[in-house]
Amino acid sequence: MEVTLFEIADYASISNTNNLNLMGIFRNIAVPNLPAKHPLMFIVLRLRAEIVEVGRNAEVELTLMDQDGGQAFHHKGTFTIASRDHLYIHKIVGMEIKKHDKYSWSAFVNGVLMGTVEMEISPLASSP
């Protein structure tokens, strides 16, 4: 199995015809004050499975780590691999943000690191 897409977005869904709807892809969150809460985000993975993996259960783990190795977010779940091109979407509501930093999202499937995406939490720039 491999990850062919790993995105952070404002919104994601799967249509009735199994098409991915992905809106507002981002890599930076600007907040005026800390601590803060990000109201809504979606972590999206497209997994390319081997034919023998279809129909099997898999465990997914998503982590967000800061530069010092501190864990800012963690999700662990299971899913059934429905097809060779499987979409996994995780909705995050009200994620707490404690500090400005550069972060790294990691996605693990069955304990194997499948990919990483960098993200930065920065201060909101003031208007002149």
In three-state form (DSSP H/G/I as H, E/B as E, the rest C), the secondary structure along 33-44 is CCCEEEEEEEEE
Tally of domains in the chain: 1
Query: pLDDT per residue over 24-41, tens digit each?
Result: 999 999 998 999 999 999
Query: pLDDT per residue over 58-69, tens digit each?
Result: 999 999 999 999
Q: What is the DSSP letter of 55?
A: T
Q: What is the DSSP letter of 32?
A: S
Instruction: Confirm whether 100 is domain-assigned.
Output: yes
- Look up the domain containing 8 and give its range: 2-123
Instruction: Confirm whether 95 is domain-assigned.
Output: yes
Instruction: Confirm whether 128 is domain-assigned.
Output: no
Instruction: Confirm whether 11 is domain-assigned.
Output: yes
Q: What is the DSSP letter of 52?
A: G
d(CA 4, CA 2): 6
Instruction: Confirm whether 38 is domain-assigned.
Output: yes
Assess contact for 92 and 73: CB atoms under 8 A: yes
Please state the pTM of the whole predicted model. Answer: 0.92
The CATH code of the domain that includes 7 is: 2.60.40.2550
Instruction: Confirm whether 68 is domain-assigned.
Output: yes
pLDDT in tens, the chain (128 residues): 999 999 999 999 999 998 999 999 999 999 989 999 999 999 999 999 999 999 999 999 999 999 999 999 999 999 999 999 999 999 999 999 999 999 999 999 999 999 999 999 999 877 56
Is 100 strand, coil or helix?
coil
Using only the alpha carbons of the chain, give its radius of gyration. Answer: 16
